[in-house]
Amino acid sequence: MKFRVARHTTNLQIIIDFYTQNLELEVLGRFEKHNNYDGVFLGKKGLDWHLEFTVSLEQPKHHPDEDDLLVFYTQNANEFDRIKANFDQNQQRPIVAKNPYWNQHALTYLDPDGFGVVLVHPI
């Protein structure tokens, strides 16, 4: 089984830049004018999951809650430090998470749509 998280957005390039420059995700594929949608698939090659972001003439009606999160578990301290440095370099500052667990074990950022992205310290 494969897993995809799909979300509508207002600007694909801003989303692509956020997820590729900070989290080092790769563009796995794209599509244009598919039933009036353009989209991109972001993830890592060889994994059974990816993120899909789409745009169309219809604007998204998002109401992100503080607990709407994409959680990324780093494999080791080097990966955590490298990705944290990416966020720092791109002037992305962590926020205080609503759930105290994430404040103790991770850093939380907001993506361009206002959804939380959690970078978890290696266990």
Condensed to tens digits (0 to 9), the pLDDT of residues 58-103 reads 999 988 999 999 999 999 999 999 999 999 999 999 999 999 999 9
Q: According to the model, what pLDDT value does residue 91 have?
A: 97
State what percent of residues in the chain have pLDDT above 70: 100
3 state DSSP class of 117: strand
User: Does the reported pTM lie above 0.75?
Assistant: yes
Same domain for 113 and 76? Answer: yes
Write the pLDDT tens digit of every residue in 8-51.
999 999 999 999 999 999 999 999 999 999 999 999 999 999 99
For the record, the structure tokens of 44 come out as 């890592």
Cβ atoms of 83 and 23 within 8 Å: the answer is yes
Report if residue 33 sits inside a domain.
yes
The sign of the CA dihedral 97, 112, 94, 101 is: positive
Same domain for 39 and 11? Answer: yes
Q: From the centroid of its chain, how far is CA 39?
A: 15
Question: Domain range spanning residue 86?
Answer: 69-120
Report if residue 60 sits inside a domain.
no
